[in-house]
Structure 1
C-alpha cells in the first residue's frame, strides 16, 4: 500500500523541481526527502524521478502518482471543510423521534426555531415506537426522542433533559354531578365508570398510581388510545376520564375539564438525548428550542387553566 505522506513528498518535489526546494517547503532536510522518495519507489516497484541537470523530473509513474497525490490533497481539504461545517452546526443531520401530543405543541415550534438558527441541518423526524420510545436513542439510531419519563426506564447511554410537567385533568360529560365544581378531589371519581385514553406504559402510570394513592383502582369500561375519541365517549355519557393538558388542546364541546387534586396526576415530558450527540451544536440548539417551546406551552396552559366547559 502506498504511503499517503510519501505521495505528498513526491508531489512537493515534482512541483518545486528540486529536492532542495521541496525540503525547504516542507521543513525537512534534503536527505530526508530523498529517503522518503526512495521508500515510495520501493513501494511502487518502479522509478518515480529522474535527474535532469541540477533538478529532477517525474517519470510516467511519478507523474501519475503526483496527480493522484493532488486529488488526495483536495479530498482531505474538502473533508476538513465539511468537518468544520459539521462541528459549527452549519451542516449535518439529526434523527428525532416524538410522541403524538408533543408534536404540535413542542416539536413543531422547536424545529422551526432550529431551522432559523441552523438552516443547513437536515432533520429525520418520525413518531417514536409506542412500545419503547427510548429504544432508538438507547440503540444509537436516533439522536433525540421526546418521551414521557417512565419509572422503569433509566438512562442507558442517553441523558434525560426535563422539558415540561404535564398535569392530568378530569374530563366529565356536561351533565355530570361534579361538572359544576371548579376542582375535584380524585377520590370523588372512585365509583365512576372510566374511559381509558392511554395505552399501558408511562402515560397510564400517573393515572393508576394517583388513583391508588386516592384509595381506588379506576374501572375502565372503554379503552381508546386517542384523546379526541376518548372525549367523544365521555361526551356520550359512557364514563369519565383523566387526560393530560397537552391532550386537551382541542376540547370536545360535550365535555367539561376540571382540575384534580389529592393527588394531581402529572406526567413528566423529557428529551432523551444520546450523550455523544450533545457534541453537535445543532442538537444543543434543538434542546434550547424545545425548552423554549415547553415554557410557551406551560404559559398557555396556565392562562387557559382546567376549568373549561
Structure 2
C-alpha cells in the first residue's frame, strides 16, 4: 500500500511545480520533500517527476498517479471523518434488545432521545422474549430479566437497572377489588390467567413466588403475553399477576392490588457489549435507562 503522506507531498509538488513551492506549502524543508518524492518513486518503481528549467513537472506516469492519488486521498479523508464521527457518536448503528413490557414503557422515549442527541445513529430494536430462543442479531445493549440459571456472556458487562415488583390484577367487581394490598397466599383459591410462556423469566419468578406462598395457581386461560392476559381480566374471566412495568396502560375494568408476604419481583439489567461501552450513544442509552428507573 502506498504511503498517504508521500502521495500528499507528491501532489503538492505537482500543484506548485517545484520542490521549494511544495516545501513552503507543507511547511517542510526542501530536503524532506525531495526525500519523500524519492521514496515514493522507489515505492512505485516509476519515474514520477522530470526537471524543467528551475522547476519540475510530472511525467506521464506521474500525472496519472497524481490524479488517482487525489481520489484515494479524498476517500481516506472521508474514512477519517467517519471514524471521528463514530468515536463521537454522530453516526453508526446501535442494536438494542428488549422484552415486551420494556419495549412499551421505555423504547419510544429512549429512541426519541437518541434521535435528538445522535440523529445519524440508526437504532435497531430486537425483541428478545419471543418463543424459539435468542434473536438472530446479538444486541449491543440487551435489556434482560434475571433468571436463576444464567451467566454473563463473554465480551459483555452486566449493568443492574431496577427491581420490578409484581402486583395482582383483578376485575373491578372482584371481592378484593377495594383493597390496597394482600398476602399472595390469599389468592390461592382464585382462577388465574397465565401471561407468559412456561420457562420464560416472568413465569419463573411467578412460580417461585407461588411456591413460597404455599400454593399452585389454577389456570383457566393460558395467554402468552401480558396484553392478552389483561384483556381476559378486563372481561372478568380471572386474575393475573404482573410486574409493575407491564401495567402502564391498564384496561378500564380492572383494579390493582399490591402483594405481600412474599413480594414477588423481577430484577432487570442491561447486558452491554464491551466493544461499544465507551460509545457516546451507548452511554446515552444507559444514562436514559438509569434516569427512567431511578
Q: Same fold (TM over 0.5)?
A: yes
Q: Is the 8 A contact 2:4 2:73 kept in 1?
A: no
Query: Unaligned stretches of 5+ in structure 1?
Result: 296-309
1:166 is paired with a residue whose SS is strand
- Listed one character per residue, the Cα deviations across residues 164-204 of structure 1 (whole Å, up to 9, x for unaligned) are 32211112234444334321111122233321111131111
Task: Kindly indicate whether residue 168 of structure 2 is the aligned counterpart of residue 170 of structure 1.
Answer: yes
Q: Is the 8 A contact 1:114 1:289 kept in 2?
A: no
Moved more, 164-173 or 119-128: 119-128
Q: Is the 8 A contact 1:193 1:219 kept in 2?
A: yes
Moved more, 196-205 or 213-222: 213-222
Runs (4 or more) in structure 1 with deviation over 6 Å come to none
Equivalent residue for 1:231? 230
Query: Aligned equivalents of 1:147 and 1:40: distance in 2?
Result: 55
Q: Is the 8 A contact 2:180 2:256 kept in 1?
A: no
- Listed one character per residue, the Cα deviations across residues 147-175 of structure 1 (whole Å, up to 9, x for unaligned) are 22223232212223233322111122344
Q: How does 1:146-295 map to 2 (within 5 A)?
A: 146-156=143-153, 157-199=155-197, 200-295=199-294
Equivalent residue for 2:12? 12
Q: How does 1:1-150 map to 2 (within 5 A)?
A: 2-19=2-19, 22=22, 25=26, 27=28, 30=31, 33-34=33-34, 36-128=36-128, 130-131=130-131, 141-150=138-147
Shift of 1:126: 3.7
Q: Compared with structure 1, are the counterparts of its residues 147 and 281 closer, same or farther at alpha carbon in structure 2 (3 Å cutoff)?
A: same
Query: Aligned equivalents of 2:120 and 2:49: distance in 1?
Result: 46
Q: Compared with structure 1, are the counterparts of its residues 134 and 161 closer, same or farther at alpha carbon in structure 2 (3 Å cutoff)?
A: farther
2:202 is paired with a residue whose SS is coil
Q: Compared with structure 1, are the counterparts of its residues 147 and 133 closer, same or farther at alpha carbon in structure 2 (3 Å cutoff)?
A: farther
Q: Compared with structure 1, are the counterparts of its residues 18 and 174 closer, same or farther at alpha carbon in structure 2 (3 Å cutoff)?
A: closer
TM-score relative to the length of structure 2: 0.84
Query: Aligned equivalents of 1:23 and 1:154: distance in 2?
Result: 60
Q: Is the 8 A contact 2:48 2:61 kept in 1?
A: yes
Query: Aligned equivalents of 2:230 and 2:149: distance in 1?
Result: 29
Q: Compared with structure 1, are the counterparts of its residues 212 and 18 closer, same or farther at alpha carbon in structure 2 (3 Å cutoff)?
A: same
Shift of 1:86: 2.4
Shift of 1:3: 4.3
Q: Is the 8 A contact 1:185 1:262 kept in 2?
A: yes
Query: Aligned equivalents of 1:227 and 1:167: distance in 2?
Result: 15
- Listed one character per residue, the Cα deviations across residues 214-262 of structure 1 (whole Å, up to 9, x for unaligned) are 2223233321023232234335554332111222233334433211111
Count how many residue pairs are aligned between Structure 1 and Structure 2. Answer: 291
Equivalent residue for 1:306? none
Query: Aligned equivalents of 2:132 and 2:143: distance in 1?
Result: 12
2:251 is paired with a residue whose SS is coil
